[in-house]
Protein backbone atom coordinates (compact mmCIF):
# COMPACT_ATOMS: atom_id res chain seq x y z
CA UNK A 1 0.00 0.00 0.00
CA UNK A 2 2.83 2.35 0.79
CA UNK A 3 3.99 3.22 -2.71
CA UNK A 4 0.67 3.69 -4.44
CA UNK A 5 -2.74 3.65 -2.81
CA UNK A 6 -5.50 1.71 -4.55
CA UNK A 7 -9.09 1.55 -3.39
CA UNK A 8 -9.93 -1.99 -2.32
CA UNK A 9 -11.79 -3.94 -4.98
CA UNK A 10 -12.33 -0.82 -7.10
CA UNK A 11 -11.26 -2.71 -10.23
CA UNK A 12 -14.40 -4.84 -10.08
CA UNK A 13 -16.76 -1.85 -9.97
CA UNK A 14 -18.72 -1.24 -13.16
CA UNK A 15 -17.46 2.31 -13.56
CA UNK A 16 -13.86 1.56 -12.59
CA UNK A 17 -12.81 0.51 -16.09
CA UNK A 18 -14.22 3.70 -17.57
CA UNK A 19 -12.27 5.79 -15.08
CA UNK A 20 -9.15 3.75 -15.82
CA UNK A 21 -9.53 4.40 -19.56
CA UNK A 22 -9.97 8.12 -18.89
CA UNK A 23 -6.78 8.25 -16.84
CA UNK A 24 -4.84 6.22 -19.40
CA UNK A 25 -6.12 8.40 -22.24
CA UNK A 26 -4.82 11.51 -20.47
CA UNK A 27 -1.41 9.87 -19.95
CA UNK A 28 -1.30 8.79 -23.60
CA UNK A 29 -2.17 12.28 -24.85
CA UNK A 30 0.46 13.84 -22.62
CA UNK A 31 3.13 11.37 -23.68
CA UNK A 32 2.24 11.71 -27.39
CA UNK A 33 3.21 15.38 -27.31
CA UNK A 34 6.78 14.11 -27.75
CA UNK A 35 5.90 11.99 -30.78
CA UNK A 36 3.18 9.63 -31.95
CA UNK A 37 5.50 6.66 -32.63
CA UNK A 38 5.80 4.41 -29.54
CA UNK A 39 9.04 2.94 -30.90
CA UNK A 40 10.64 6.38 -30.71
CA UNK A 41 8.90 7.53 -27.54
CA UNK A 42 9.65 5.37 -24.48
CA UNK A 43 7.06 7.01 -22.24
CA UNK A 44 4.34 6.60 -24.84
CA UNK A 45 5.34 2.98 -25.42
CA UNK A 46 4.95 2.14 -21.73
CA UNK A 47 1.54 3.79 -21.42
CA UNK A 48 0.30 2.18 -24.65
CA UNK A 49 1.33 -1.25 -23.35
CA UNK A 50 -0.50 -0.55 -20.11
CA UNK A 51 -3.60 0.52 -22.03
CA UNK A 52 -3.52 -2.67 -24.13
CA UNK A 53 -3.26 -4.83 -21.02
CA UNK A 54 -6.28 -2.97 -19.61
CA UNK A 55 -8.19 -3.89 -22.82
CA UNK A 56 -8.64 -0.29 -23.95
CA UNK A 57 -10.49 -0.28 -27.31
CA UNK A 58 -8.14 0.24 -30.24
CA UNK A 59 -10.10 3.22 -31.54
CA UNK A 60 -9.87 4.94 -28.14
CA UNK A 61 -6.15 4.27 -27.96
CA UNK A 62 -5.39 5.52 -31.46
CA UNK A 63 -7.52 8.63 -31.01
CA UNK A 64 -5.71 9.51 -27.79
CA UNK A 65 -2.33 9.21 -29.54
CA UNK A 66 -3.43 11.35 -32.48
CA UNK A 67 -5.03 13.94 -30.23
CA UNK A 68 -1.94 14.21 -28.04
CA UNK A 69 0.34 14.50 -31.07
CA UNK A 70 -1.82 17.30 -32.50
CA UNK A 71 -2.91 15.27 -35.52
CA UNK A 72 -6.62 15.95 -35.01
CA UNK A 73 -6.32 19.72 -34.96
CA UNK A 74 -7.56 20.30 -31.41
CA UNK A 75 -4.76 21.09 -28.98
CA UNK A 76 -4.33 19.16 -25.73
CA UNK A 77 -3.63 21.36 -22.74
CA UNK A 78 -3.36 18.90 -19.86
CA UNK A 79 -0.99 19.98 -17.12
CA UNK A 80 0.52 17.70 -14.49
CA UNK A 81 0.05 19.18 -11.02
CA UNK A 82 1.17 17.66 -7.73
CA UNK A 83 -0.38 18.34 -4.33
CA UNK A 84 1.22 17.40 -1.03
CA UNK A 85 -0.18 17.19 2.46
CA UNK A 86 -1.46 14.93 5.19
CA UNK A 87 -4.37 12.56 5.56
CA UNK A 88 -5.93 12.21 9.02
CA UNK A 89 -3.46 11.11 11.71
CA UNK A 90 -0.63 12.96 9.95
CA UNK A 91 -0.14 10.35 7.22
CA UNK A 92 1.85 11.90 4.37
CA UNK A 93 0.12 11.97 0.96
CA UNK A 94 1.17 12.99 -2.55
CA UNK A 95 -1.58 13.46 -5.15
CA UNK A 96 -0.77 13.65 -8.87
CA UNK A 97 -3.34 15.29 -11.14
CA UNK A 98 -3.67 15.82 -14.86
CA UNK A 99 -5.92 18.80 -15.46
CA UNK A 100 -6.97 21.16 -18.21
CA UNK A 101 -7.95 23.79 -15.63
CA UNK A 102 -5.79 24.33 -12.55
CA UNK A 103 -8.21 27.01 -11.38
CA UNK A 104 -10.82 24.27 -11.02
CA UNK A 105 -8.58 21.58 -9.59
CA UNK A 106 -6.84 23.63 -6.89
CA UNK A 107 -9.97 24.62 -4.95
CA UNK A 108 -11.32 21.07 -5.28
CA UNK A 109 -8.13 19.75 -3.67
CA UNK A 110 -8.41 22.30 -0.86
CA UNK A 111 -11.92 21.04 -0.08
CA UNK A 112 -10.87 17.38 -0.23
CA UNK A 113 -7.96 18.01 2.15
CA UNK A 114 -10.15 19.64 4.81
CA UNK A 115 -10.20 16.40 6.84
CA UNK A 116 -6.42 16.36 6.64
CA UNK A 117 -4.02 19.17 5.84
CA UNK A 118 -2.95 20.51 2.46
CA UNK A 119 0.71 21.47 2.45
CA UNK A 120 2.98 23.45 0.16
CA UNK A 121 5.37 22.03 -2.43
CA UNK A 122 8.07 20.05 -0.67
CA UNK A 123 6.16 19.69 2.60
CA UNK A 124 6.11 15.87 2.40
CA UNK A 125 7.91 14.93 -0.83
CA UNK A 126 11.22 15.01 1.04
CA UNK A 127 10.01 11.85 2.80
CA UNK A 128 9.41 9.99 -0.49
CA UNK A 129 11.75 8.70 -3.18
CA UNK A 130 10.87 9.48 -6.81
CA UNK A 131 11.22 6.09 -8.48
CA UNK A 132 10.12 3.88 -11.34
CA UNK A 133 7.31 1.52 -10.31
CA UNK A 134 6.71 -1.64 -12.32
CA UNK A 135 3.97 -4.14 -11.62
CA UNK A 136 4.64 -7.52 -13.20
CA UNK A 137 3.28 -11.06 -13.07
CA UNK A 138 5.26 -14.31 -13.44
CA UNK A 139 5.09 -16.14 -16.75
CA UNK A 140 6.60 -19.40 -15.51
CA UNK A 141 6.42 -21.40 -12.24
CA UNK A 142 10.11 -20.97 -11.37
CA UNK A 143 10.15 -17.18 -11.79
CA UNK A 144 11.87 -15.61 -8.77
CA UNK A 145 11.17 -11.95 -8.06
CA UNK A 146 14.36 -11.35 -6.10
CA UNK A 147 16.55 -12.84 -8.81
CA UNK A 148 14.59 -11.01 -11.50
CA UNK A 149 15.12 -7.70 -9.70
CA UNK A 150 18.87 -8.28 -9.53
CA UNK A 151 19.24 -9.45 -13.13
CA UNK A 152 16.97 -6.75 -14.61
CA UNK A 153 18.63 -3.92 -12.69
CA UNK A 154 15.78 -3.03 -10.31
CA UNK A 155 16.64 -1.47 -6.96
CA UNK A 156 14.03 -3.34 -4.89
CA UNK A 157 10.84 -5.38 -5.12
CA UNK A 158 7.72 -6.32 -3.14
CA UNK A 159 5.47 -9.34 -3.60
CA UNK A 160 1.81 -8.47 -4.23
CA UNK A 161 -1.39 -10.04 -2.98
CA UNK A 162 -4.31 -10.45 -5.38
CA UNK A 163 -6.16 -7.37 -4.06
CA UNK A 164 -3.07 -5.21 -4.47
CA UNK A 165 -2.32 -6.12 -8.07
CA UNK A 166 -3.84 -4.24 -11.00
CA UNK A 167 -4.13 -7.54 -12.83
CA UNK A 168 -6.24 -8.96 -10.01
CA UNK A 169 -4.01 -12.02 -9.81
CA UNK A 170 -1.83 -13.14 -6.94
CA UNK A 171 1.83 -14.04 -7.28
CA UNK A 172 2.81 -10.77 -8.90
CA UNK A 173 5.51 -8.37 -7.80
CA UNK A 174 6.15 -4.66 -7.76
CA UNK A 175 9.65 -3.67 -8.83
CA UNK A 176 11.26 -0.33 -7.98
CA UNK A 177 13.90 1.28 -10.19
CA UNK A 178 15.88 4.47 -10.45
CA UNK A 179 13.71 6.92 -12.38
CA UNK A 180 16.14 6.91 -15.33
CA UNK A 181 16.17 3.09 -15.52
CA UNK A 182 12.42 2.46 -15.79
CA UNK A 183 12.34 1.60 -19.50
CA UNK A 184 15.51 -0.51 -19.33
CA UNK A 185 14.16 -2.65 -16.48
CA UNK A 186 10.81 -3.04 -18.25
CA UNK A 187 12.61 -4.44 -21.27
CA UNK A 188 14.74 -6.79 -19.15
CA UNK A 189 12.03 -8.35 -16.96
CA UNK A 190 10.41 -10.63 -19.61
CA UNK A 191 13.67 -12.54 -19.99
CA UNK A 192 13.55 -13.14 -16.22
CA UNK A 193 10.09 -14.68 -16.34
CA UNK A 194 7.94 -11.62 -15.58
CA UNK A 195 5.37 -9.93 -17.80
CA UNK A 196 5.08 -6.17 -17.23
CA UNK A 197 1.49 -5.14 -16.45
CA UNK A 198 2.14 -1.46 -15.75
CA UNK A 199 5.09 0.91 -15.50
CA UNK A 200 5.21 4.51 -14.29
CA UNK A 201 7.23 7.07 -12.41
CA UNK A 202 5.90 7.60 -8.91
CA UNK A 203 6.70 8.03 -5.24
CA UNK A 204 7.73 5.53 -2.58
CA UNK A 205 7.63 6.53 1.11
CA UNK A 206 10.87 6.37 3.06
CA UNK A 207 9.14 5.96 6.43
CA UNK A 208 5.71 4.31 6.03
CA UNK A 209 3.57 4.24 9.18
CA UNK A 210 1.28 1.55 10.64
CA UNK A 211 -2.17 2.49 11.94
CA UNK A 212 -4.81 0.77 14.02
CA UNK A 213 -8.02 -0.45 12.36
CA UNK A 214 -10.12 2.59 13.27
CA UNK A 215 -7.47 5.10 12.18
CA UNK A 216 -6.84 3.17 8.96
CA UNK A 217 -10.53 3.20 8.09
CA UNK A 218 -10.58 6.98 8.48
CA UNK A 219 -7.53 7.39 6.26
CA UNK A 220 -8.97 5.02 3.63
CA UNK A 221 -12.17 7.08 3.45
CA UNK A 222 -10.12 10.26 3.00
CA UNK A 223 -8.05 8.68 0.21
CA UNK A 224 -11.11 7.25 -1.55
CA UNK A 225 -12.67 10.72 -1.74
CA UNK A 226 -9.51 12.14 -3.29
CA UNK A 227 -9.16 9.25 -5.75
CA UNK A 228 -12.73 9.80 -6.95
CA UNK A 229 -11.87 13.27 -8.26
CA UNK A 230 -11.79 13.26 -12.08
CA UNK A 231 -8.46 15.12 -12.27
CA UNK A 232 -6.61 12.75 -9.92
CA UNK A 233 -4.28 10.29 -11.65
CA UNK A 234 -2.34 8.75 -8.76
CA UNK A 235 -2.39 8.84 -4.96
CA UNK A 236 0.76 7.94 -3.00
CA UNK A 237 0.59 7.51 0.75
CA UNK A 238 3.08 6.72 3.52
CA UNK A 239 1.20 3.69 4.87
CA UNK A 240 2.83 0.37 5.63
CA UNK A 241 1.28 -2.92 4.62
The domain segmentation of the chain, as residue ranges, is 10-68
What is the Cα–Cα distance from 135 to 151, expressed in whole angstroms? Answer: 16
Cβ neighbour number for residue 63 with a 10 Å cutoff: 16
Q: What is the pLDDT of residues 215-230, one digit of tens each?
A: 999 999 999 999 999 9
Q: What angle do CA 142, 176, 51 make, to 5 degrees?
A: 85
pTM of the predicted structure, to 2 decimals: 0.82
What is the number of residues in the chain?
241
CATH entry, 10-68, from 1.10.150.120, 3.40.50.12780, 1.10.10.200, 1.10.260.40: 1.10.10.200
Sign of the torsion formed by the C-alpha atoms of 156, 162, 167 and 169: positive
Tens-place pLDDT, residues 114-131? 999 999 999 999 999 999
By percentage, how much of the chain surpasses pLDDT 70? 88
Cα separation, 76 vs 63, in Å, equals: 12
Rounded to an integer, what distance in angstroms lies between the CA atom of residue 122 and that of residue 144? 37
Identify the bridge partners of residue 156 per DSSP, sorted by sequence position.
Answer: 176
Amino acid sequence: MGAQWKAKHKDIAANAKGRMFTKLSKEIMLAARNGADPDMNARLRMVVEQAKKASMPRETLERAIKKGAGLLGDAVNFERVTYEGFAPHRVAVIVECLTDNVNRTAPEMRVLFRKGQLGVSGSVSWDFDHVGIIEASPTRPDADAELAAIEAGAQDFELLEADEAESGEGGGAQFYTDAADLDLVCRALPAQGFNVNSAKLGYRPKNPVTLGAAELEEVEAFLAAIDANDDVQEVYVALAG
